[in-house]
Structure 1
Amino acid sequence: MEAPLLDTASAGDSEPIRSLGELKSVICLESVKVWKIAGPAVITILSQFGVYGINTMFVGHLGDIELASVSVSLNIVGTFSFGFMLGMGSALETLCGQAYGAGQVHMLGIYMQRSWIVLLVSCFFILPIYIFATPILKFFGQVDQIADLAGTFTLQTIPQLFSLAINFPCQKFLQAQSKVNVLASIAFSSLILHMAMLWLFIYQLGWGTTGAAVAFDISRWGIAVAEVVYIMVWCREAGWNGFSWLAFKDIWPFVRLSLASALMLCLEIWYTTAVYLISGHLDNPVIAVGALSICLNINNWQMMFFVGLNAAISVRVSNELGRGHPRAAKHAVYVTIFESLLIGILCMVIIFITRNKFSIIYTSDEALQRAVSHLAYLLGATMLLNSVQPVISGVAIGGGWQAMVAYINLGCYYIFGLPLGYLLSHVANLGVMGLWGGMICGLALQTIFLLFVLFKTNWNKEVEQSSERMRKWGDQFIKNDQKSNENS
């Protein structure tokens, strides 16, 4: 049943679905393929993000200042570095996925090592932001109470920054081969350990926010070390052939693709960061930042679920393009977007129903709970839009469209959304609701543009571009390998 529907080397991109029975078969087949990857990927992403979210939950019960400070640190500095490092690592998602689909498994280990080098160097460029977090936050308008504690917490989390340089390339290496179950097991085990450490360090030893930072560092490095051990021991037949000097060769083209990926994802992830910075200028910033932190933290939980789908659809698209199957790639995209939209509608309804209750998880302050309930409708709308947008971004990564999407993000978010949010919050005096309303408008405009790009995509052409990319990188690998053998 699979070959006639999805093996489209001969059928081509334009071959239509001819009957309702064929449509049902495509939906069922693609759902199984996507969720086989997406299920463990969602567990992995939610578990890793859970380290951020659970930190906020535990610290939130220490006090409003502690909640706002740790939220600012994690959502501004932490998100800034996370977005940049994830973006730099996403180049590997394109290359490894298409190489694996094309049967060039020998290239995966070289790509991963090259990504380690690029990301480790990137950490040193980000490091000054961690060191000077307090004055940077004050410059952007955060009050002294919040900025001082946030800066201290940020300094204490420097070790986890370097773990990301190891973690992300390992994830992309394993995801490209659909080895997602091991990633889910490692991440979930780390989350359980993290909760135990938070309980011990914060409540039993009384270390406060310092305890949260120490637990954060240990959890992050635990994941990175476990992934490296698994790859080096159990992936010798699946892309890992040991360390190689070839990782240092032809590194500049890799850096260019990494920077395009970073720009695309950073412009998305930093959008929320900019909203946090602007919120520090509002009246009663402790309540404003605290309420926004709770809502965006819940939104981020839901968004991380769809980032798991992002990884799954990226793998499906890159693998199918690498195999030369344009119709399979197109079907995977449309089925995944439809299903993610249904999930987004469900999440929005749940938020509307529980709008007066869900903030209890984060705070006991009644004023803060009321402020959160006022933002619930905006939260629901954002969650609906976030059900589609990360999936389309995953398609962009799988197809290698990062640079084009970066321009769309720049225009929709920073030229349209943020200025509109600033005007609504400060000029129209709508406060946090105006700020968030502008953010939603930017997100909606971006989603419309991306859907249009997706609708106009020629999947046959995408296969040709993927084949050309694999020929180019594969020939470079073979030439370098031959030179290395001659020198030795």
Structure 2
Amino acid sequence: MSGAGREMAERLLRGSEIEQRRGSLYLKKKIWSEVKKMWRIALPSTLFRVMSFGCIVVAQAFIGHNSEMGLAAYALLQSTFIRFIYGVMAGMSSATETLCGQAYGAQQYHMMGIYLQRSWIVDTFTATLFVPFIVFAGPILRLLGQNTEITKTVDEIYLWVIPYLYSLVFTMTMQMYLQAQMKNAIIGVLSTIALVLDIVATWWFVRVIGMGIHGALLGLNISSWSVVIAEFVYVFGGWCPHTWTGFSTAAFLDLIPMLKLSISSGFMICLEYWYMSIIVLMSGYTKDANTAISAFSICQYTYTWELNICLGLLGAACVRVANELGKGDAEAVRFSIKVVLVVSAVIGVICSALCLAFGGQISYLFSDSHQVSNAVADLSIVLSMSILLNIIQPILSGVAIGAGMQSMVAFVNLATYYAIGVPLGFILINIFHFGVKGLWSGMMAGVGIQTLILSYIIYKTDWEMEVKKTKERMKTWTLKLPSAESSSTISMRDEERK
């Protein structure tokens, strides 16, 4: 090859290397940009969920060190009825997340406050339907064959749960509303302050005044409603001028479509929350019900700590997918999904390793019983495996929520959890006599199958088609923008460009 030819080849090679470096640099910047967007949503959302759940754990910790019977009663009530209703409320509020996220991406800002008001109407009605189940929780549990002494304690505390139930209507929906417009940092701050308030109030009522389990639940109600009041002040006080323009009669329009989406969302999430509660319910049939319920409830709390981190990432996946669908960018949707899955995988592996390392020592945060500690240590391997399985599933659910595919995921959950997981768990506990560990292992198989099915569905989803569906939904549900609001909406678009 001549000198000129070699020189030309070297130039082409250097040009190719420069292009590769530019491409690599662009990809790194793109990933970093997506990670920042993701954590801007996920960190406050995770903080909110962890701190809110922390208030429940604080109540359990004070109750557990005060009364073993009280611990079992609270664990049974919390792990069955409260957890189930919490799942329904969280699921129904995800409809707000879907609609507000897509409206924000489509720059239909004036609709977000209307969607929030509609969710209050629908969720308040739903919460009221569940009040009788709380009132008759004790008799229902006795009818199911649960320990009589434990359920009598439930009869003494159920009234404290009702105010907490209604606080969920507002905290859940406003968190989704603020999250969709990247303003949920305030939620993280408020929930952190609420946890500190909860610890101080619970300590005062339980240790100083001597109210026992009632004092712990009073502290929980004070902290939960303090967050609601602070959120009202923030939203109504002018910090959301573009998306909250006051109460509107438009909130009473299209309630049926909102109800349908909320029900499918609630059904999807509550199936997941109730799934773990079945194990607590089955623990009540064992010989040493107090130890079994207490041990598994502690494992469940540990599992839920990690789950709340994943649910924060679920929120990030939901908002990012909804926003990009609203903007009409299918490629950005795919990229967002890949980034959040990788981040979730790293966190899940770390949490699983920590559970294996500490084992039964975790139980001493909740109880002084060595029997409970040994039972928790025995379940630690299954717990760590459950956390590993939990790496991907919430992210896939978040993607489905962002795209408005809640109904499909609800049917997948129903089939995998209750047609496969629960029967397999019963076989392992009744035929092979593996106890609670066998029940949990069988139900883990249901989670694994569900994850595989959702992975396939998300992988095969035509996101260009989902963009078209989102545009149609926005056209159908969006009301005409009032002229008085036009200038504020335009200014918000200018802020976004900056």
Q: TM-score, normalised by structure 1?
A: 0.92
Q: How does 1:151-190 map to 2 (within 5 A)?
A: 151-190=155-194
User: Are 2:333 and 1:329 aligned?
Assistant: yes
Q: How does 1:318-357 map to 2 (within 5 A)?
A: 318-357=322-361
Q: How does 1:207-246 map to 2 (within 5 A)?
A: 207-246=211-250
User: Are 2:299 and 1:295 aligned?
Assistant: yes
**Residue equivalent to 1:305:** 309
Q: Is the 8 A contact 2:360 2:375 kept in 1?
A: no
Amino acid at match of 1:115: S
Gaps of at least 5 residues in structure 2 are: 1-21, 484-498
Amino acid at match of 1:225: I
**Residue equivalent to 1:201:** 205
Q: Deviations over 1:440-473 (max 9, x none)?
A: 1111111111111111111111111111111111
The alpha-carbon deviation at position 23 of structure 1 amounts to: 4.3
C-alpha separation between the residues in 2 aligned to 1:166 and 1:29?
32
**Residue equivalent to 2:413:** 409
Amino acid at match of 2:183: K
State the Cα RMSD in Å: 1.6
Q: Is the 8 A contact 1:91 1:254 kept in 2?
A: yes
C-alpha separation between the residues in 1 aligned to 2:40 and 2:250?
33
Q: Give the one of 50, 56, 60 matched to 1:56.
A: 60
The alpha-carbon deviation at position 387 of structure 1 amounts to: 2.2
Amino acid at match of 1:167: T
SS in 1 for 2:480: helix
C-alpha separation between the residues in 1 aligned to 2:155 and 2:449?
34
Q: Give the one of 121, 127, 130 matched to 1:126.
A: 130
Q: Deviations over 1:157-198 (max 9, x none)?
A: 211111112222211111110101111111111110000011
Aligned residues with identical type, % of pairs: 38
C-alpha separation between the residues in 2 aligned to 1:21 and 1:272?
44
Amino acid at match of 1:172: M
Q: Is the 8 A contact 1:264 1:406 kept in 2?
A: yes
Amino acid at match of 2:273: I
The alpha-carbon deviation at position 19 of structure 1 amounts to: 5.9
Specify whether residues 355 and 146 from structure 1 end up closer, same or farther in structure 2 by C-alpha distance, changes over 3 A only: same
The alpha-carbon deviation at position 236 of structure 1 amounts to: 4.8
**Residue equivalent to 1:478:** 480
C-alpha separation between the residues in 2 aligned to 1:419 and 1:236?
48
Q: Is the 8 A contact 1:326 1:463 kept in 2?
A: yes
User: Are 2:257 and 1:253 aligned?
Assistant: yes
C-alpha separation between the residues in 2 aligned to 1:204 and 1:414?
46
C-alpha separation between the residues in 2 aligned to 1:260 and 1:119?
13
**Residue equivalent to 2:422:** 418
**Residue equivalent to 1:456:** 460
C-alpha separation between the residues in 1 aligned to 2:313 and 2:53?
15
User: Are 2:331 and 1:364 aligned?
Assistant: no
C-alpha separation between the residues in 2 aligned to 1:63 and 1:117?
39
SS in 2 for 1:354: helix
**Residue equivalent to 2:395:** 391
**Residue equivalent to 2:93:** 89
C-alpha separation between the residues in 2 aligned to 1:362 and 1:446?
32
Amino acid at match of 2:480: I
C-alpha separation between the residues in 2 aligned to 1:253 and 1:272?
30
The alpha-carbon deviation at position 356 of structure 1 amounts to: 3.7
C-alpha separation between the residues in 2 aligned to 1:174 and 1:365?
42
C-alpha separation between the residues in 2 aligned to 1:341 and 1:289?
30
The number of equivalent residue pairs is 462
Rg larger in structure: 2
Q: Is the 8 A contact 1:160 1:216 kept in 2?
A: yes
The alpha-carbon deviation at position 28 of structure 1 amounts to: 2.1
User: Are 2:135 and 1:142 aligned?
Assistant: no
**Residue equivalent to 1:9:** none
Q: Deviations over 1:227-248 (max 9, x none)?
A: 1111011235221111111111
C-alpha separation between the residues in 1 aligned to 2:449 and 2:144?
27
**Residue equivalent to 1:434:** 438
Amino acid at match of 1:353: A
C-alpha separation between the residues in 1 aligned to 2:243 and 2:217?
35
Q: Is the 8 A contact 1:157 1:214 kept in 2?
A: no
Q: Which runs of 4+ in 1 moved over 3 A?
A: 18-26
Q: Is the 8 A contact 2:254 2:477 kept in 1?
A: no
Q: TM-score, normalised by structure 2?
A: 0.90
Q: Deviations over 1:397-442 (max 9, x none)?
A: 1110100000100011111111111121122111111111112111
The alpha-carbon deviation at position 362 of structure 1 amounts to: 1.5
Could you tell which deviates more after superposition, 150-159 or 93-102? Answer: 150-159
